[in-house]
Chains A and B, each alone.
Chain A
Amino acid sequence: GENVEQHPSTLSVQEGDSAVIKCTYSDSASNYFPWYKQELGKRPQLIIDIRSNVGEKKDQRIAVTLNKTAKHFSLHITETQPEDSAVYFCAASLGMDSSYKLIFGSGTRLLVRP
């Protein structure tokens, strides 16, 4: 079945620096890739997503890139702020699966040092 691997598991950056989180997926039919931010004790919040017909998408300080050939997608956060500290999850939705259930990576704990 589909598998999503996420790296790194923890990431510590200085405020103002950039952070990059990378994911790989196994099912080449996957066609939707959301990213969620989860603060301690709170619900996962959708922060950005990308579909397989697009290579890159940007929303202010956040961008996501997709390489379908390599089955890689990445989250880029620029000008990091302390409030960006959280756990970030990537996910993939099976393209041939009518439920569009999400398969999640194991998460990246991002710490932004002030």
Chain B
Amino acid sequence: DTGVSQDPRHKITKRGQNVTFRCDPISEHNRLYWYRQTLGQGPEFLTYFQNEAQLEKSRLLSDRFSAERPKGSFSTLEIQRTEQGDSAMYLCASSSQGGPYEQYFGPGTRLTVT
């Protein structure tokens, strides 16, 4: 499968714990995005990487959230001190360099905070 992959697919954690998610984009894509989707809503933008540089962060991304893309390939999204309000589907997408090209989404990581 040469599409965007994410790991894990599901994560259940207790409030206050830290969690980390991984995204592997399509190999030739240098743009990588993280979105969050809650039930019944469209995805909401969280952050954007061009190669290894994190160029934009949404105000939705509190200080408890951090994302990295150390070698310009895979990316990780960490949530510290999880809260019940963090429960959502975390989606990763990638696209090619240049203008507004198509973004292809991964299957997502569903986070449940108990």
Query: How far apart sit A102 and B55, CA to CA, in the bound complex (Å)?
Result: 15
Q: Is the CB of A93 within 8 A of B91?
A: no
Q: How far is the CA of A89 from the CA of B40 in the complex (A)?
A: 11
A-B contact number at CB 8 A: 61
Instruction: List, in ascending order, chain A residues with CB within 8 A of B108's CB.
Output: 43
B107 close to A43 (CB less than 8 A): yes
Contact partner of A103 (CB less than 8 A), chosen from B45, B102, B105, is B45
- CB neighbours (8 Å) of B41 from chain A are 106-107
Q: How many residues on B have C-beta within 8 angstroms of the other chain's C-beta atoms?
A: 26
| B42 and A100 form a contact (CB under 8 A) | no
Chain B residue numbers with a CB within 8 Å of A101 are 33, 45, 48, 56
Chain B residues close to A by CB (< 8 Å): 4, 31, 33, 35, 40-45, 48, 50, 55-56, 91, 95, 99-108
- Chain A contact residues, CB within 8 Å of chain B: 4, 6, 31-32, 34, 36, 42-46, 49, 51, 89, 91, 93, 95, 98-107
